[in-house]
Structure 1
Amino acid sequence: MKKTHIIILIFIAIAIAVLISFMGDLTTYDTVASAQEKEGKYVHLIAKLDKTSPVEYDAVKNPNYLRFTAIDTLGNKTTVVYHNSKPTDFEKSERLVLKGSMKNGQFECKEVLMKCPSKYKDDVNANKKNLSAN
């Protein structure tokens, strides 16, 4: 075999190894039911805060413990435990993207992303008023 063929084969093998390593990091958006089926696997859960259930957070006692109930788009509920401080305006968020895994019947969250479109509604209305005034 020529040296160029060997180099190309090595390059292809490295490329395949890199692609396989990235496939392990890929996640999809899941519901509570599908996350429960994948217990222990890292998933992204799209949900909203259940405002009828209490949010357990005590900044003095343990500032790195937040427990709440989340409802997915299908209406399924799960208890979420987040070992970090409570995000600012957490109760005002309209949607949450929870990154973590299901363990022992509850969602162990590693990261919380909040979707707050209401923050931008006032800006849009103010822009409309400014445009109509001009």
Structure 2
Amino acid sequence: MKKSSIIGLVVIAIAVAIIISTAGDASSYVTFDEAYAMAANGKAESIHVVGELKKAPNGQVVGVQPSEDMLSVEFILVDDNQKEQTVYLNQPMPSDLLKSDKVVVIGGYKNDMFIADKVLLKCPSKYEETSL
């Protein structure tokens, strides 16, 4: 075999290994009930739950409680099945949390509480067309 063929095979093998290892880390969005069941069955990896912040009938966000030192925050997230769950984030409140359309929390259950490691926000104002 030529040296270039061997190098090509090694590069392809490395690419396949990277694709397989990242495919195992990918996860889909689940509801809080599914996340709780996964945690009860011993799933230790991070779980992705998508939802919206709880809103009052007038459209205002309710249930967001930053800590006194502003280094953590609790908020109520409503998933796609309309289940409400208090989420604890041990980080300062993201600046656009109250403006976000959808919120993705990444974390897991500990002692019947959802602890988020990360919060991803989708703000509708970023994607709306502005008229000139």
TM-score under structure 1 normalisation? 0.70
Cα distance in 1 between the residues matched to 2:93 and 2:51: 16
SS at match of 2:25: coil
Which stretches in structure 1 are left out of the alignment for 5+ residues? Answer: none
Which stretches in structure 2 are left out of the alignment for 5+ residues? Answer: 57-61
- Cα 1:122–1:115, aligned 2, differ >3 Å: closer, same or farther? closer
Cα distance in 1 between the residues matched to 2:54 and 2:91: 19
The residue aligned with 1:35 is 35
- Contact between 1:41 and 1:102, CA under 8 Å: does it hold in 2? no
User: 1 or 2, which has the higher helix percentage?
Assistant: 1
Correspondence 1:67-106 to 2 at 5 A: 67-106=74-113
Q: How many residues align?
A: 122
Matched letter for residue 21 of structure 1 = S
Q: CA RMSD in A?
A: 2.9
- Cα 1:94–1:13, aligned 2, differ >3 Å: closer, same or farther? closer
TM-score under structure 2 normalisation? 0.71
Cα distance in 2 between the residues matched to 1:95 and 1:41: 22
Please give the per-residue CA displacement for 1:46-102, whole angstroms capped at 9, x wherever unaligned: 1111135522113xx322210111100110111100011111132222210111112
Cα distance in 2 between the residues matched to 1:38 and 1:110: 17
